[in-house]
Amino acid sequence: MKLTTAAVDIGSHTARLLIANSFSKNEELCLMPELIRRNYVFIASEMSPDKIIEKSSISRTITIIKDYAELALSHNVLHINGVATGVIREAANRDDFIDQLNRIEGFNCRIISGEEEAMLTVKGVASSLEMPSDFILFDLGGGSTEFIFSEKDSILKIISLPFGCSTLSKRFLKESKKNIFLKINEYIMDIMERDMVFRPTEYLIGTGGTVASVAAICRDIRLDDINYKSLHKQKISFSEVDSLYSMVINMNLTQLIINMNVEEARAKVLPAGLSILRNIMLYTKSESLTVSISGMLEGVILSNTERRHYEY
């Protein structure tokens, strides 16, 4: 039996909707994406110094979620499971923000921890990739980056580190660009060396908007054309990432939009996001990266669908 369900992730930089059909195949639960949407919410970039989500961000997000609810309804989905991540976790007015979102008919949202986000990401990625016994998986977001370390089919460690493409852009890239990327690289490496277990890997898997955008640029794919067929399971090398980084850090915003063929909202966070990606590959001594278009949203749908089957 086919079941159509929907999930939404409200992050620091973007909100994303996934409507998918779930069905059983060889006693396994499978997903077939039906509709994917992404919109920019700019929560991190507009957040006040005292960690208040601004009214403009709240209003923008509510409008987006209302549109998502209408899209879900058009696919005969009456209820959307939502999760909020990134800087929303630390926001002083997060409860009021979530309360306003949950007044939208058919929408139920909750804030999840970095650790739960990581576990949902593993579930989503594993639904569409054959996972080796040893891997490092990361989800590079707008406000944080989650890491999952696996060895011999066992998850050894899950961590959420406090850097993302949007928060680093806000923190560093309002200054002059002179030597600024040295500061960004030092900041990222200091956090990884403090909080991560060093573990070189032959299988590094990345997911998230920055990873997809970088892979699309490397493969000359328009961002509007990113989908499971065009990018999922693609491999990009460290040399490609490093070469792109060397170009991007010397471009202004207009040059990024034109030369990288990206929209302004992505161009603003691309240099910081690319810095994070490059440093992760350096730290893990990875020569290549496997791109996963599947991630947390697929994990949310699978978790809720499994729970529904169990309840029945």
* pLDDT for 93: 98
Note whether residue 307 is domain-resident. no
* pLDDT for 310: 40
143/278 same-domain check: yes
Q: 């403090």: which residue's tokens?
A: 194
101/136 same-domain check: no
137/279 same-domain check: yes
The pLDDT of residue 243 is above 90: yes
CATH of the domain at 72: 3.30.420.40
70/142 same-domain check: no
* pLDDT for 179: 79
Name which of 150-159, 173-182, 301-310 the model is least confident about.
Answer: 301-310
Residue 29's domain comprises 3-113
Note whether residue 310 is domain-resident. no
The token pair at 226 is: 């990113």
Q: What is the pLDDT of residues 88-137, one digit of tens each?
A: 999 999 999 999 999 999 999 999 999 999 999 999 999 888 888 899 99
Note whether residue 303 is domain-resident. no
* pLDDT for 26: 65
Name which of 31-35, 139-143, 284-288, 306-310 the model is least confident about.
Answer: 306-310
Note whether residue 297 is domain-resident. no
Q: Kindly report the pTM of this predicted structure.
A: 0.91
CA angle 194, 241, 16 (to 5 degrees): 80
174/95 same-domain check: no
72/172 same-domain check: no
* pLDDT mean over 161-175: 90
Count of domains observed in the chain: 2
Note whether residue 7 is domain-resident. yes
